[in-house]
Amino acid sequence: MDIIFSAFEILLRWDVLIALLIGSCGGVVIGAIPGVGPAVAIAIILPATFSLEPIVGLTLLLGIYGSAMYGGSIPAILINTPGTPVNALTTYDGFPMTQRGESRRALSLAYSASFFGGIFSIMCLIFLSPLLAYIAPMFGSREIFLAALLGIILVITAHRGHMFAAAMMASLGIFIQAIGMEPIKYSKRFTFDQSWLTGGLNLIVVVLGLFAISQAILLLVEKDKQAKAVKVTGGLFQGLKELGKHKRIATVSASFGVLMGMIPGVGEFTSQFLSYTYAQRSSKTPEKFGKGSTEGLVASEAANNAVPAAAMIPLLALGIPGEALTAMMLSVFYVHNVIPGPNLFQNHLDFVIALYISLLILNILVLIFLLFSTNSLLKVIEIPSRFLGMSILILSFVGVYSLRNSFTDCAVAAGFGIFGFILKRLDLPIVPIILGMVLGEIMEGKLRTSMMNVKSPIDFINRPITFILFALIIIVLLLQVRTMWKNLRKK
């Protein structure tokens, strides 16, 4: 109980509350604009948070992360265009409901399901925290190395249809993080005698290039688009009542969200896929799925909104981000010398609980905001795409230049912007590059320290957790080989 009070003490400050309010409302607006999304927004705002205290900066970023998917459901339902990539499944049933003249019902149900998913996930995590605090200290260098390795393998295998592309991008990320002066033996790696490469390539610069500048270029190069959304009339409270009819689907979907969110590299898409499939199979009217089924809508929204809170688990407990947004948040911790990992859970559980409570508050704030402002948000959906591109390009400048006032950083970011633009044009994955960079650095450091006490390869997996992680890696790889073999035989 003391920990909970201590957590509230951390949170009850005007700057934290303002950050929460701006983050949650801003996240909804950003999510509602097709073509922006939380990754672009977080990448731009990230350097600005470095001057804030960790809890203030993190609540701001968490606000954007946790609320963008709420906003993303608005264009998904009203104009058949997902606001964030995660809302793609929402269009399947949300838009047909709008076509039937039930946009109000679809929106209110989506908000309610998202709210349920978010709250369910946070409650699970608050109750799981003591267990995590018990388990986290069992993770030493070897365990963290293997967990990071498992994470990178899962990120690659999760990209079905693009697995080899994901593997080459993750390898590229590992290579990029290794460029520059190596900190132990002070030997230069791939600097080509260029002084600007000696310090290596900054993660934030790469992130801004790959996510923000690339998106700006994409919007500016492609044809100008302007959506038209129909005004929603009437109140949006009925969804809260209607959700009661879908308790089972909402609970199972949110549970999938929690489970998948905790596994690095898996996240929203898998949880949505599993919950949607479950909802369809257990439904009395499976034929309605994809044609405006309320169950389908509840399944996809409850599952995707349960992920952000759960995705914080590997980040906070082990210091291992499972996807791009948590990888960006990791840099906020590093800037303030707060190292997430077993020690954070053991010694600063109040800080962790404070983050969970802030997620809880933001879900309530977002629901209230949405119930009263949906019609005003329709205006942001209608912003022309090239105008958005121009705005993102200007905003990207703040992100990159404010880091070190360096022209070189901006040139590097512009280079990665073009690279990201090409990847986006080809539908190739970008996230493995970022995770390759972050997890590559973790793996390099942890492998070096763990090998000091290891005499034979067997010693590496002689602890229970290392053995389990190693077994999981082997199982994932074998399953992947089996799937590939099956696909090959089918062809």
Partner 1 sequence: MKNIKSGDLLFAILFFLISAFLISQLPEQVKWFKKTKITSQPALWCSIGLIGMTIFGFIHLLLKIRFDDLKKELIEGFIWIRSIEFACWFLLYVFLVPYIGYLLATCIIALCLSYRAGYRNKKILTYSLITALSIVLVFKTFLEVKIPGGVIYEFLPGALRSFMILNF
Q: Residue 440 interacts with partner 1 (CB under 8 A)?
A: yes
From 168, 259, 335, 472, residue interacting with partner 1 (rule: CB under 8 A): 168
Q: What is the 3-state secondary structure (H, E, C) of 362-412?
A: HHHHHHHHHHHHHHHHHHHHCCCHHHHHHHHHHHHHHHHHHHHCCHHHHHH
Q: Residue 102 interacts with partner 1 (CB under 8 A)?
A: no
Taking the alpha carbons at both ends of the chain, their separation in whole angstroms is 59
From 5, 8, 134, 190, residue interacting with partner 1 (rule: CB under 8 A): 190
Least distance from C-beta 137 to partner 1, angstroms? 24
Q: Residue 184 interacts with partner 1 (CB under 8 A)?
A: yes
Nearest to 335 by CA among 29, 20, 53: 53
Q: Residue 448 interacts with partner 1 (CB under 8 A)?
A: yes
Q: Is residue 270 a contact partner of residue 303, using CB atoms and an 8 Å limit? A: no
H or E element that contains 216: helix 214-221
Which residues 6+ apart lie within 8 Å of 339 measured at CB?
319, 333
Q: Which is nearer to partner 1, 448 or 482 (CB)?
A: 448
Q: Is residue 205 a contact partner of residue 412, using CB atoms and an 8 Å limit? A: yes
Both tokens of 128, joined, read 């799981």
Say how many residues touch partner 1, by CB under 8 A.
69
- The interface region with partner 1, picked from 66-74, 184-192, 261-269, 355-363 by CB under 8 A, is 184-192
Q: Segment 106-165, which members bind partner 1 (CB under 8 A)?
A: 161, 164-165
Q: Residue 458 interacts with partner 1 (CB under 8 A)?
A: no
Q: Alpha carbon of 124 to those of 66, 131, 135, 279, 306: distances in Å?
A: 16, 11, 16, 21, 10
Annotate each residue in 211-250 with x if it binds partner 1 (CB under 8 A) or - if it does not, as one string. --x--xx--xx--x--------------------------
From 136, 249, 436, 469, residue interacting with partner 1 (rule: CB under 8 A): 436
Q: Residue 473 interacts with partner 1 (CB under 8 A)?
A: no
From 123, 135, 172, 227, residue interacting with partner 1 (rule: CB under 8 A): 172
Which residues 6+ apart lie within 8 Å of 405 measured at CB?
none
Q: Residue 402 interacts with partner 1 (CB under 8 A)?
A: yes
- The interface region with partner 1, picked from 1-9, 94-102, 269-277, 383-391 by CB under 8 A, is 383-391
Q: What angle do CA 453, 455, 458 make, to 5 degrees?
A: 105
Interatomic CA distance for residues 396 and 418, integer angstroms: 14
Q: Residue 407 interacts with partner 1 (CB under 8 A)?
A: yes
Q: What angle do CA 13, 14, 20 make, to 5 degrees?
A: 95
Binding positions for partner 1, rule: CB under 8 A = 47-48, 51, 161, 164-165, 167-168, 170-179, 182, 184-185, 187-192, 213, 216-217, 220-221, 224, 384, 386-387, 389-391, 393-398, 400-402, 405, 407, 410-411, 414-415, 417-418, 421-422, 425-428, 436, 440, 443-444, 447-448, 451
